[in-house]
Each structure stands twice: as C-alpha cells, then as structure tokens.
Amino acid sequence: MTAVQLPPVAPEVTATLVEDLSPRLRKRLDAAVTKLGARPTHRDGDTVTIAVDDETELRLHAPGGVVATVDAITCGCLLAPACVHRAAAACAAPTADPAPEPADRPSRAVPEPASATDPAPGSASSPEVAGPAQRAAADALWSAGAAVLEAGVDGAGAVTQSTLLRAAHTARLRHLPRAAGAALSVVTLLRAARAGDPSYRTADLVTALAELLGTAHRVGTASGAELAAVRGAARRPYSPGGSLRLYGLFTEPVVTDSGHGGVRTWVAGSDGRLCTVGDVAPGGVGRALGVADRAVRLGDSALTHRELGRAGLAVSGATVSPDGRLGAGKGVKAVTARGAAWTEPPLAALWETPPSEQAARALRSASRYADPDGGGSDLLFLDVELLGAVRESGGTCLLARCEGGMCVRLTVADDDPALAHRDNLTLLAAAPGTRLRIIGRLVPALHPRLTLLACSHPTGEGTIDLGLDRLRRADLPDPAAPVHLAPLRPEGSGAHSPLYLLERRVEQTVPAGRAALGMLGDVTAETRRMRRAGLPTAAGLLTALCTSAAQRDRDLFGRLLPADTDGFATYWLAAARYTADVAESLCAAAWEPTQAR
C-alpha cells in the first residue's frame, strides 16, 4: 500500500477516544502514534486504511472528507474497540476545522438566570457578561493551556493535546469560537513541533499559547463590546455592502505551509477602502501561478485576477467581511469598468498619507493579539528612491529612501524560485537611483521594513505584480552611479533594546516547560541591564517569571507540593503580551519622521 494523507478528525472524536483509554494504554499512546505514522496507508473512496501489521487493518471513514464520529474509526485487532490503535490514528491525523453553526443559531452566550434584583438585560447598569457555562469553558481552556506551559513541547504528548481538544470542543458549544480556534492552533503547532516539521517556529507557538491564555482569561473579565470581540465569530460575517465601484491595485500569489495555493487581488473603493478577492485551495505554488489567469469568482465578471489588478469593477448587491473580503454570493452582480492609474483618483490618495500614519494603522492590523475581524490592512503605499542591495544577517535586502529621507528595507514576500519575487528584487537592486511607487506589507521590526509586493513599472507605464510578473533588464533605466552602502545597523530608538532578554526567556519556556526555565540560574545581570535601559517593567516580569518557574514548596514531611501552574502561566502570559506590545511600540517609533537619518 502507498502512503496517503490521513483525513482530518473532529476534535471531539480524538478527545473521546483518548479519554476512553485505560491509564496503561494512555502511557503507550505517544509511542503508538509514532509507530502508526510510519505504517503504509491506502485510500478507497471516503475510507483510508492503515496497515497496523501484516494481519491487522485500521480504517478511518470520512464521508465529506472529515471523520466526524467515534464509530467512524475501526480496528481489526483483538482488543478493539478498546485498543490504543483507534486513538493513535485520531491523534496522528490532522484536526478538522469545526463545522459551521446553523445559520439560525445565534452566536452569543447562554444567559444566566436572572434574579428578581437583577437590572434589566441590556440596561446601562447591566452590561452583558459571560454566563457560568462560558466561564467554566474558559477555565478549562486556561487549565489546558497552563498544562502545556508546564510540560513544554517535549512533554505535551497526545494526552495533553486531547485535553486541549476537549476544551476546544466545549468552548465551541458554549459559543466561544475565538478561544476554541486558539486551542486548535496550539494543538496543530504542538504536533508540528514534535514531528520536526521544518515550517514550525517557536515564536508561532508562543503567539498561539498567549492568544489562548489571554482570550480564556478575558472571557471572565470582559463585558459588553469587549466580550463580543473575545467570543469571536464562528463564521466570517459578511454584511451588505450595497453598490461598489472598485479599482484594481495588484494581485499577489498566496502559498501556505499547509500546501494551499492561490492568489489574492487587492482593490480599492471610491472612498479608498481596501478590499480583496481571493481564490486559495489545496495545490501549492503551481496552483497559485495557474489561478492568476482564471476568472475572478465575483458575479458575472470575465476578468482574470491579473486583469482585475489593473482594471475596475462595478458591483451591486455586494457583501463585505470586516477584514475587507468580498463575498461571492448568488445575489452579487459585477461588470467590468474602467480602472485607475496609481497616480489618478481615487488610488493616488493612498500614497498621500504620511508613512508614520500608515505604519501605525498597519501595526494595528498586524498585531499578534489584535481582535479578529477588526478591519484595516497591513499594506503601506510609498514613493521611494532605490539605493541598492545591502547585506544583513538574514540575507540580502533592497534599501530605499522614502519621504523625509527615511530608509526602508525591502525584502521578498516569498523565496520560492517558481515565483518572481527574488529575481525582481535582484534586478531592482541593480538600478540605484530609480524612483518607484511601491506597495509593501509591514514587517514588524525595530527599523522600517516591508515585504515588496507591487511597484510602478520602471519606465513609468503600468504596474508590476512582483510575485507574478517578471521584469527584464531592458525594463530598467541605465544604471546610475553605484551607491556605496556601509553594512546596515538597526535604526530607531529600540535598535539596541535589551527587550530580547525577556523575549528569549518567554520562548525558552515553550520547548521544555516551566522546570527548564527554573534551572536557568540567576538573572540579576539581565534585570540590571533592562533597568538601565529604562525597562523596569520588563525587569520585574523577568524576575517574577523565573522565580515562579523555580518555586516548589514542600509539605510538613518535606515532600514536594504540586507546582503552581496557574501562577506561572499568569506571569508567562504577562511577559509574552508585554514584549509584544513593547516591540510594536518600538516598530511604530522607527517609522516616525524624527527617526529618519
């Protein structure tokens, strides 16, 4: 049999199968997952078969592509259905996205029973708060997340992950989709880390864990509009947008680590609001290149994505999500209309906002812990003069000068050789002195930095989608005198900030857990350095974090008491959120005109 991808399994199915195991089999579960992952698999329609051994087969039945019930996983061994194989198969498979709630089910809290003395619901003196069931679900998520911090990646095996999956399922049933989604993200990243996935980054798991713990905590303290944001939405809410006149800006290829590929075309309305039309599905970079020349899925438009990036649309019956995605429902009608050059209204106005204001807006959108569906975009629109290529620790980037003399580093959005990003950046770097109008995506850093997505054509005619269109040397002006650039050093007030001393302790917790951080020794020198740099809060958080990690009390007989996992998780969350907020503040400061050199 050949190896095929296992179908995704619903979170509650995995949790139930693990919970049903005996304590003895739970101890063997991680080894069983590893062993099963190396066995040959075969697909026949909706069923995937795993050869447990030469005589035993295990089947996952996935009608509709998802294993949705416990009975859909069967094993032919003598111990079935109480064997470890069924749970191991569920743990080895990807976690399925939760099914959407019925359209008529409100995504809100189950209200608490009102007492005779309670103010009227919705009154000014009675803002909406989470019900007991929601608070209980949030507490379960907090405990599961704290257990991950306690154990670290190395200790967070299938049993710990199943606890998270159970908590995520319960949270979804209690109408807490944001927290449930964060828990599923943590499970996915834990599995990637333990499997040695090359795309895994510890920083991603730090962000996911902090989002999970932070959201779970806020459920119990938030009220009113904040509570609605903390709960999140089970489905992307599209609201009526009426009639829209849209002007194409550019098209970017989208290639994800999960194997999906496609494109996203950016358009702007008459009022300058940015919207997107996307087409992303399994297929990788090959699909991204092919979809660019397919018709846009919006009304009856015959425009391809490439064409829409330079043309226009008149849309009636439009629906738009809070983050600007245009819906493609049956009631949407769209016809081709005249586009606009980047130097013409209404698009020209996008380049008139000062870079510092654009960066502040982009940071609000790109924040690691921004409330979902908060709107806004992480794109910047700049007029620049190219200075040439410069080397830095991560490779080579293109240096450009924008308004006020500020220098911005431009990097590739994707290094895949099948895409045009790298080749185009290399050519542009060979043309110092060239003036361009560019669109880039903010990269949060201690200096102005963007990934370069699109630019005006060097000849002044038209625009270039830098991931899809390929420049030629003939397109570039005659090279100016070379610009000799010294090796770049980070700019801005935070260039030499010792904030990283706290950041690295936050990250060190994730791979090996609380105990590993507790053994790192004295941090007095580090806290002294942070206080000298004007970061007393960071110094205090580092001290509290390491002290909590090392603290283990004993009872009257000298036996170690259980560690205070909740206390440690609280300090860790505070440190993670603090470092993210300060880093974003330093990034915003780097874009201020006073930071230009």
**Structure tokens of 497?**
């900030």
Among 55, 36, 43, which residue's Cα sits nearest to residue 93? 36
Model confidence band, residue 184 (pLDDT cutoffs 50, 70, 90): very high
Indicate whether 15 pLDDT > 60: yes
pLDDT tens digits along 25-56: 999 999 999 999 889 999 999 999 999 998 89
- Which pairs count as long-range contacts for 316-321, CB under 8 Å and 24+ apart, including other chains? 316/242, 316/243, 317/240, 317/242, 317/243, 318/240, 318/241, 318/242, 318/243, 318/244, 319/238, 319/239, 319/240, 319/241, 320/238, 320/239, 320/241, 320/275, 321/236, 321/237, 321/238, 321/239, 321/373
Residue 105 has a pLDDT of 35
Q: Per-residue b/e over 527-563, b at no fewer than 16 CB within 10 Å?
A: beebeebebeebbbbbbbbbebbeeeeeeeeeeeeeb
Residue 34 has a pLDDT of 93
Strand partners for 268: 247, 274
Q: What percent of the chain shows pLDDT beyond 70?
A: 89
- Which pairs count as long-range contacts for 338-344, CB under 8 Å and 24+ apart, including other chains? 338/311, 338/312, 339/247, 339/248, 339/310, 339/311, 339/312, 340/247, 340/312, 342/249, 342/437, 342/456, 342/463, 343/437
Of the two residues 532 and 239, the one the predictor is more confident about is: 532
What gap in Å lies between CA 333 and CA 327, rounded to an integer?
Answer: 11
What gap in Å lies between CA 19 and CA 86, rounded to an integer?
Answer: 12
Residue 101 has a pLDDT of 46
pLDDT tens digits along 377-435: 899 999 999 999 998 877 789 999 998 789 999 999 999 999 999 999 999 999 999 99
Distance set, CA 183 to CA 95, 141, 164, 551, 578 (Å): 11, 7, 6, 27, 21
pLDDT tens digits along 508-520: 999 999 988 888 7
Indicate whether 318 pLDDT > 50: yes
Residue 323 has a pLDDT of 81
pTM of structure: 0.82
Model confidence band, residue 276 (pLDDT cutoffs 50, 70, 90): very high
Of the two residues 190 and 103, the one the predictor is more confident about is: 190
Strand partners for 95: 9
Residue 256 has a pLDDT of 82
Model confidence band, residue 234 (pLDDT cutoffs 50, 70, 90): confident
**Structure tokens of 414?**
């994707």
pLDDT tens digits along 457-507: 998 889 999 999 999 988 888 765 555 554 444 444 445 689 999 999 999
Q: Quick one: which H or E segment has residue 262? A: strand 260-269
Burial of 2 (0-12, 13-18, 19+ CB in 10 A): exposed
**Structure tokens of 279?**
């087409």
Segment among 116-120, 366-370, 468-472, 554-558 with least mean pLDDT: 116-120
Model confidence band, residue 135 (pLDDT cutoffs 50, 70, 90): very high
Model confidence band, residue 160 (pLDDT cutoffs 50, 70, 90): very high
Indicate whether 334 pLDDT > 50: yes
Q: What is the mean pLDDT of the chain?
A: 87
Report the range out of 296-305, 454-463, 588-597 with the highest average pLDDT.
454-463
Residue 398 has a pLDDT of 95
Residue 321 has a pLDDT of 83
**Structure tokens of 322?**
């809070």
Residue 112 has a pLDDT of 37
Residue 127 has a pLDDT of 62
Half-sphere exposure of 14 (CA within 13 A, CB side): 33
Cβ–Cβ < 8 Å for 48, 41? yes
Of the two residues 230 and 125, the one the predictor is more confident about is: 230
Segment among 15-19, 113-117, 154-158, 275-279 with least mean pLDDT: 113-117
Residue 106 has a pLDDT of 32
Residue 392 has a pLDDT of 83
Model confidence band, residue 156 (pLDDT cutoffs 50, 70, 90): very high
**Structure tokens of 3?**
């190896």
Cβ–Cβ < 8 Å for 274, 377? yes
Residue 479 has a pLDDT of 61
Residue 485 has a pLDDT of 52
Instruction: Give the other-Cβ count within 10 Å of 591's Cβ.
Output: 26
What gap in Å lies between CA 164 and CA 31, rounded to an integer?
Answer: 20
Chain length of the chain: 597
Of the two residues 177 and 393, the one the predictor is more confident about is: 177
Q: What is the mean pLDDT of residues 313-321?
A: 89
